[in-house]
Amino acid sequence: MATLFRRRAQRTHVERVRHRRHEGFLRYANFRWAKISGMLCLLIVASYALVDVTPRPNGGSWYGYTLGTIGAALILWLTALGYRKRRMTSDYWSLKAWTSAHVYLGLSLIVIGTWHTGFQLGWNVHTLTWALMMLVILSGLYGVIVYATLPAVLSNNREQMTQMQMLEAIRAFDRQLHAAAQPLTAEDTAPVLAALDEDPFAGGIRARLTGRYPRCATAAALRALAGSHAADAEARGKVVGLLRQKEAALARLRRHLRLRALLEIWVYVHVPLSFALIVALSAHIVSVFFYW
Amino acid sequence: MSEAVRVAIIGSGPAGLSAAARAAQLGLSHVLLEKTDHLSDTIFKYQKGKHVMATPARLDLRSDCRFDEGSREAILGIWDEDAAANKVTVAYRAEVVEVTGEKGAFHIRTASGDTIVAEHIVLAIGTQGNPNRLRCPGNDLPHIIYQVDDPEDFRDRHITVVGSGDAGIENALGVAEEALENRVTILNRSKDFARAKAKNVSDLMEAGENGAIDIRTETQPKIVEPGWLTLETPTGDERIECDVIVARLGSVAPRAFVESMGIEFTGPDREAFPKLSPTFETTVPGIYVIGALAGYPLIKHCMNQGYDVVEFINGNNALTPADEKNLATIFANLPQQKTVGEWLDHLRVRVRIFADVSPLQMREFMLDSKLAYYPAGEVVFEKDEPGSSLFAIADGHALVEVAPGVTVPIEQGSIFGEVGLISGRKRGATIRAGEDSIFVEVSRTAALKLMGAVPGAKRVIERISLERQLLQIFKGGLRVEDLAPVIDGAEVIRVSAGKPVVVEGDAGDDVYVVRSGSMVVEKHIGGRPIFLRYLPAGSYFGEMAVLSGEKRNATVKAAVGSEVIKLTGAGFKAMLAARSQVRAATEAAVAERAAMNGFIESRKTSYTSAVDLYSDTASFIMKEGLGEATDALLIDENLCVGCDNCEKACADSHEGLSRLDREAGRTFAHLHVPTSCRHCEHPHCMADCPPNVIHRGPDGEVYMEDGCIGCGNCMRNCPYGVIRMESTPPPKPGLLSWLLLGRGPGPGEPSPQWTKANMPEGKKPKKIAVKCDMCKGIAGGPACVRACPTGAAIRVSPEEFLSVARLEEDAD
């Protein structure tokens, strides 16, 4: 009851930031970071045209160093998102705001990094750094696109079911299949048993991402039973019905897994490439100063 | 037994045992009657190894028996030792069936036919009652059990559960757990499971569809034999294999038995307790009631009362209760110095709502209350501040700020803050001390208990609340006197969810005030009902028809079970006539509402789909029970990428346990209501918390303070399934050590395997209730919302979410 009796004067009530409506990370604060990032890019493009660097625009000029420093600092800050996301400190911050800034400032690196090169590219560690950066941005761009388009599809597909419930539904069909397949002949039973043994998570990364399972035992069992002429027609009809239901349940789960994989796969490119980028960036900076 | 004992104690739980031990210590002839063959059956029946808590910590134990928190086995063992050490006379298997006679010579008849003569009786029978038994042949066989201590005790068995209530369904689901490999059947005499909670029924149906439980409706047991059970089904008799029968057929509450002795209760409703004197004596002289039956469910209270009641019977009237020192601290910081007894009398004389309260009840209320001195002008609470406690004015007077700079006094003896009792929403006005004053602050639970136990207090509080509620709604110099015509004809009506109060097109000029719950306003436009507005508690409706004299122009129905106050149109008109300012303000409000209705109607013609979506979303939100929410987590599935960072953040912001399940819950038009606390206006979880640790905090959050005893009542009472019973996992290695070295389970709730493997040696995890506290005390606010990378998660109240602004934006 301690707080019930707390007097107004002693209260440490903090006004909380509340949102009455959903606002995505791309639209955050009326596109604040898009505007900031756009302005930054415009500033760089304009100043690049106006500043006359002699003998020619180059990463090693004062102008090039400025852009390089901004870019390197930005790269390190952008990497910090992974830490921010997992570090649940108690002060006010919004991961949505961080994501929004991450996306738009990350995109601005295209201009910052490219203009920093002075459009001098070659086969060296400097260009490697630039290329890695572009790849990271490209993978991030893919992430933005799937984040913007796939959630609604994921939601439609699951129709209020959780992943556990989808698995449970498949197990329920398996139990019923097990009972219904008892009267089948030996040759009809084998494909059904194979379907029962099937692991819904099996199939590897390729099947997961494409959603195609050519060796699906349930589909195989359906084909086998459709072509069967054994004398157990009535029981077979029931099993075929159950197999169809299981196939539909499997299809939903596989679509679910595919969408989740598509939403996650890019992170496995984006993050390792980011670390590769930081290594290359270090090499780039060290070499620049070494050969001053 | 022919010789009369000085005191017979019925029931050997903590209260009865403590009473018997005191009687033995005082050398009084006594007998402790226990219907089973062991002491303290209620605690004996707890699940094996259950950790029993010793709350409230601030209360000292005064008993000849020992008690401290520990496992069920340890506590029962200690009590057996103490009963023997104190030389308590126990009569086991002595179920009392009848009590006759009077003080000095009560005749107590037991089920086995013995009669015990006693001068005094102490009733300490608790509230569990006796379970109803099966009534078919074979009902005395040992494989019929009346409760399931631990589902894990049953493996690979044929189990039949009889009973269609929550207890039966929960037991059936427990033993039907796949790993246990039991074959479970549940029998229901009727067609549907009407008595059980919706969540339990849906879980049961799912288990039925999965083949985990065989559900037999319109079926009852006919003959019980070892290993077999014959069923009476709609299609004839059927014999099934059955090794264990779990009978959950409810229980007979002990009230009828108590009343059969002539003991009066405070009222007819279920929450009523026997009327008691300060010495626990009932309306029948010589019979005393203590423990849970007297309204004290906690073990420590029970044991102290056992000690006290025997001291009273022994003539020790100078004994001060064990809570004396706690009460003394409550009165300690006041300018006047009085003894505890004097203060209690002072309050009972000076405060209207305490007039009919007995000294014993007064002690209890004061323990849950606070007495504070407020110098003139000090703010007691401010408008829009959350809070649900009730204030009574012991000395001085209070000033209510009805409008900026306009105050109305509340005189000494009256109350304020009473709106919090009825509606769990924010304070309606700022209140200051009008002079140097002393106010009593009574917690909401204690005040509700007071209203339940003392009808006089209830009448006073209800009248005052109605007056105040009307004063707050219809501002502008309205006085209590002006309200008389309205209040005298006022009537409180309960409306169940979905029922209309006012129907579009009907005649009628009554005005309604939403006292608790909430309403939705709908209008038929283009052949279908369109949602116009959400009315939270404290709003009023029906005034348009009074002012215009026309028929009702919209339908108002309850979003959740609600209470409305019906005011007659004539009385309302008289009230408006008395104060022109009020009339003007009401007319302005009507005009605003009419304009909004007009706006929605105009949009309906040009932006049909936007209006339909708005309306359908509103109905979905109401159907999900969010009508009683004050703050709910809503996820936009157009944005949610399923990363579960909200769950991880929740676990990491608390003690490693997530209080929300993102994926579970219903969805409409990509708006998802996850399984997460919505901080109900009237929290169901608060309804029955024995240690009273669930409260509403300063930001409106419903949270639990330390002291949960793990009984699980809140979890069962929550209709939305958002409370978990879990034990705290051990601390994890830090984030950097996970990121860099891969140590520990990483962010979020650790897996049960990790928790089990890393639980420190010798530490027995204790399961307590875990629920969302809206990140109370965390400066940044709710972690789930802060940690959402895409902005899919927000926390809102329904009135914020369903604002017309939403419709305007959608239509544009």
- Average pLDDT of chain B is 85
Query: What is the Cα B682 distance to its own chain's centre?
Result: 9
Residues B207, B202: Cα–Cα separation, whole Å: 9
Question: Is B639–A83 a contact, with Cβ atoms under 8 angstroms apart?
Answer: no
The widest CA-to-CA distance across chain B, in whole angstroms, is 92
Question: Is B790–A16 a contact, with Cβ atoms under 8 angstroms apart?
Answer: no
Q: Give me the half-sphere count of Cα atoms (radius 13 Å) on the Cβ side of residue B455.
A: 7
Digit-coded pLDDT (tens) for B630-652: 889 999 999 999 999 999 999 99
Question: Is A20–B805 a contact, with Cβ atoms under 8 angstroms apart?
Answer: yes
How long, in residues, is chain A?
Answer: 292
| Chain B residues closer than 8 Å to A99 by CB | 789-790
Question: Is A14–B800 a contact, with Cβ atoms under 8 angstroms apart?
Answer: no
- The per-residue pLDDT for A7 is 36
Best of A6, A26, A95 to disrupt the B interface (most B CBs within 10 Å) is A95
Question: Is A151–B385 a contact, with Cβ atoms under 8 angstroms apart?
Answer: no
| Chain A residues closer than 8 Å to B652 by CB | 86, 88
Best of A5, A17, A21 to disrupt the B interface (most B CBs within 10 Å) is A21
Block residue for tokens 């199939």: A203
Say yes or no to pLDDT of A288 above 50.
yes
Q: What is the mean pLDDT of residues B148-166?
A: 84
Say which residue, B367 or A98, is predicted with more confidence: A98
Say yes or no to pLDDT of B209 above 60.
yes
Question: Is B735–A87 a contact, with Cβ atoms under 8 angstroms apart?
Answer: yes
Say yes or no to pLDDT of B443 above 90.
no
| Structural tokens at position B298 | 């906690």
Question: Is B641–A151 a contact, with Cβ atoms under 8 angstroms apart?
Answer: yes
Question: Is A162–B792 a contact, with Cβ atoms under 8 angstroms apart?
Answer: no
The amino acid at residue B165 is G
pLDDT confidence of B476, banded at 50, 70, 90?
Answer: low
Which residue among B372, B779, B791 places its CB closest to the CB of A25?
A: B791
Q: What is the mean pLDDT of residues B726-744?
A: 90
Q: Which of B309-313, B525-529, B619-623 has the highest mean pLDDT?
A: B309-313
Decide: A226 and A173 in contact? Cβ < 8 Å. no
User: Residue B575: which of B511, B514, B515 has the closest Cα?
Assistant: B511
pLDDT confidence of A11, banded at 50, 70, 90?
Answer: very low
Digit-coded pLDDT (tens) for B758-770: 888 877 778 899 9
Say which residue, B325 or A115, is predicted with more confidence: A115
* Measured torsion, CA atoms of residues A8, A12, A15, A18, in degrees rounded to the nearest 10: -110
Say which residue, B267 or B350, is predicted with more confidence: B350
- The per-residue pLDDT for B271 is 61
Strand B30-33 versus strand B5-10 pairing type: parallel
Q: How far is A176 from chain B (nearest CA, A)?
A: 8
- The per-residue pLDDT for B118 is 94
The angle subtended at Cα B509 by Cα B507 and Cα B510, nearest 5°, is 125
B486-619 matches B324-473 in CATH topology: yes
Domain spans in chain B, listed from the N-terminal domain onward: 5-129+253-313, 144-251, 324-473, 486-619, 623-811
Question: Is B699–A23 a contact, with Cβ atoms under 8 angstroms apart?
Answer: no
Q: How far is B47 from chain A (nearest CA, A)?
A: 29
Q: How far is B636 from chain A (nearest CA, A)?
A: 7
Superfamily (CATH H level) for B144-251: FAD/NAD(P)-binding domain (3.50.50.60)
Which residue among B370, B666, B670 places its CB closest to the CB of A152?
A: B670
- Percent of chain A at pLDDT > 90 equals 65
Question: Is A171–B210 a contact, with Cβ atoms under 8 angstroms apart?
Answer: yes
Question: Is A96–B637 a contact, with Cβ atoms under 8 angstroms apart?
Answer: no
> CATH assignment of B5-129+253-313, given 3.90.550.10, 3.50.50.60, 3.90.650.10, 3.30.70.100?
3.50.50.60
Digit-coded pLDDT (tens) for B777-786: 888 889 999 9
- The per-residue pLDDT for A1 is 31
Q: How many C-beta atoms lie closer than 10 Å to residue A135's C-beta?
A: 16
- The per-residue pLDDT for A2 is 33
Which residue among B642, B667, B791 places its CB closest to the CB of A23?
A: B791
Say which residue, A149 or B596, is predicted with more confidence: A149
Best of A8, A10, A12, A22 to disrupt the B interface (most B CBs within 10 Å) is A22
The angle subtended at Cα A42 by Cα A40 and Cα A44, nearest 5°, is 70
Q: What is the mean pLDDT of residues B338-344?
A: 86
Nearest residue of A to residue B651, measured between CA atoms: A88
Q: Is the backbone peptide bond immediately before B375 cis, with ω within 30 degrees of 0? A: no
Say yes or no to pLDDT of B384 above 80.
no
Question: Is A151–B778 a contact, with Cβ atoms under 8 angstroms apart?
Answer: no
- The per-residue pLDDT for B803 is 77
* CATH fold group of domain B486-619: Jelly Rolls (2.60.120)
DSSP B243: S
Q: How far is B422 from chain A (nearest CA, A)?
A: 17
Say yes or no to pLDDT of B79 above 50.
yes
| Structural tokens at position B342 | 């004097």
- The per-residue pLDDT for B619 is 85
| Structural tokens at position A30 | 């009326």
Block residue for tokens 């309906």: B604
- The per-residue pLDDT for B83 is 93
- The per-residue pLDDT for A12 is 34
| Chain B residues closer than 8 Å to A266 by CB | none
Say yes or no to pLDDT of A244 above 90.
yes
Q: Which CATH class is domain B324-473?
A: mainly beta
| Chain A residues closer than 8 Å to B441 by CB | 4-5
Digit-coded pLDDT (tens) for B224-270: 988 899 988 877 788 899 999 998 887 766 888 889 899 988 777 66
| Structural tokens at position B103 | 């003080």
Over the Cα atoms of chain A, what is R_g?
A: 28
User: Residue B226: which of B237, B214, B242, B240 has the closest Cα?
Assistant: B242
Residues B665, A159: Cα–Cα separation, whole Å: 11
